[in-house]
Amino acid sequence: MSAEKMAEAVNAYIDRLSNGTAEEIVDLYADGATVEDPIGAPIRNSREELIEFYSIITGLDSRKADLKWVKIAGDTAVFEFTLVTGTADMSFEITPIDIMIFDENGKVVSMRAVWEQSDLKQL
């Protein structure tokens, strides 16, 4: 897995957080991949659980993710992004740092998100 391919996958993830469906986001993951978001939360490891998780974001009235930076080494990408989401009467912003591990096919096998509740800001 090349650094370029991992960077492309990270960019696709950010784009799909802004514009994609939950299914399109989950398509970036390998079968049996795990998501721990945030670290310490129950681990999701089935396609159905991942779709349910990402449907929370994709079901909001508005959402926009912006990549701040990405570092890649070996099979791992670490990146920071800002996600602004909104409903009819409220908007929230969070800036997590995600750690993604990729398989040889460029699919995410593990994603862990570093953030805590106090990082979620109402706008």
Q: Does the active-site annotation cover 13?
A: yes
Burial (Cβ within 10 Å: 0-12, 13-18, ≥19) of residue 95: middle
- Write down the pLDDT at residue 84: 98
Q: What is the pLDDT of residues 100-111, one digit of tens each?
A: 999 999 999 999
Q: Give the domain range for residue 7.
A: 3-122
b/e 51-67 (16+ beta carbons within 10 angstroms → b): bebbeebbeeeebebeb
- In the numeric block, the tokens 């929230």 are attached to 92
Q: Does the active-site annotation cover 37?
A: yes
**Catalytic residue (one of 29, 37, 54, 98):** 37
Task: Find the CATH number of the domain harbouring 16.
Answer: 3.10.450.50
- Write down the pLDDT at residue 90: 93
How far from 70 is each of 14, 50, 97, CA to CA, in Å? 11, 23, 9
Number of separate domains in the chain: 1
DSSP letter at 43 equals P
Tokens of 74: 């070996």
Q: What is the pLDDT of residues 50-67, one digit of tens each?
A: 999 999 999 999 999 999
**Catalytic residue (one of 13, 29, 54, 98):** 13
Q: Is residue 97 within 8 Å of 80, Cβ to Cβ? A: yes
Strand locations in 47-117 (E): 62-73, 76-86, 91-94, 97-102, 108-114
Tokens of 65: 């993710």
